[in-house]
Structure 1
Amino acid sequence: MSRSSSSPADATHRPSPATPGPVTADDLARAVGLAVDLLHTAPASAWDGGRAGSLEWDCWETVEHLSDDLFAYAVQLGPRTPPLDREVPFVWQARRPGGPANAVHADRAAGPAGLLQTLEACGALLVAMVRTTPPQARAHHVFGVSDPEGFAAMGIVETVVHTHDLAAGLGLDWEPPAEVCARVLARLFPDVLVGADPWSTLLWATGRLALPGRPRRTTWCWDGTVRS
């Protein structure tokens, strides 16, 4: 999701009156840790080519894409003067037509355990950058120039939503912490009401499901700009 563009998010919900607090590096570390722990429970045979939920990618490719998102956000914050108008110029390449364009690829010979180690390592890079980058720093993202908190929130969305995709493909049950979902919704989807079930709301906001009276989104994006 990090290098794609979509139509602006439609404000079909009223803004939430609640203020759940800032997104933190601890929230990101928690989300990545829970996702990695869950994915380790999938049998090795489950990784053999099955699609990740509604995505066109298989589960292995989706973990590589998620790892790459976390890596890309970390390096975007890395330069002493982060670019505000472009991405740090790594080369992103797909390994097959229709596959995700990544700078990060896991060694297939290392198996699922190695793949998940790659994910955990990329998550740790972003956690470290969020912890150590001054809060006044700004860096480019296609959905708005953002700050370290914004990149943490983006990393959490990538992690929890793509783990939802992976759980569907691997036959697992996944539900991230509601309070983390609520904080991410408030940071990146300020026009979306955080109701009694923040996780379902986040899945709706990212086009994964329909809610009662709310059809499934076919286009969406978040607002990564810095909150005043």
Structure 2
Amino acid sequence: MSEAASPPIRDAATVLLVRRDGNEPAVLMGQRGAGAAFMPSKYVFPGGAVDAADASVPFASELAPGCLARIADFAAPGLGPALAAGAIRELWEETGLILGAPGAWPGPVPEGWRDFAATGHLPAAAALSFVFRAITPPGRPRRFDARFFLADAAAIAGDPDDFARASDELSHLHWVPLGAARRLNLPFITEVVLGEVAAHLKGAPVEDGVPFFDNSGSVPAFRRLV
């Protein structure tokens, strides 16, 4: 596929949910279907494209100002909250887990959020920490400008092992110890993000900025969002 014929780049959000109640930290992952158009059979974190309705979702708590500032680098106004909402919605849809706090929605609930709202929760973005950004290279059937958010499983409302309300988009949902996660069938960028998260969980500072793999053009670039 030529660069001219490459599909449009869509904003996307992904959640790295980390559980720390075992011998070592574990991340929540699932496997995409063998027939999926994007990353078939790969183990990934919950996530997906941002929907238009995500921009107007009310929150029980907002993203931290530092996260918003880093996202704002070359971003459309208001994209930060939409990304946070998209991350929480995708986590709910693909795993059935609620990153939210009890609360009533102040007005009509967008169609894509009705099942979430029916649980009696508002999305809680304060638990999310922006840790990585990557744009899918040209030549792929789908391209995303993906922001990766880290969140502690302690922020989940309910049982973190209860996937009964998950969709069928991801199979084999389970908590994977960090040491074992990199031995799964992973996309390249997922391996890179896992390495960054492992360092972050060991106390590596984030003052140097959020890593950004920029494949928006024909020449890939790496920089940090400060």
The two structures have a TM-score, normalised by structure 2, of 0.29
Q: Which protein is richer in helix relative to its size?
A: 1
More strand by share: 2
Higher relative contact order (CA 8 A, sep 6+): 1
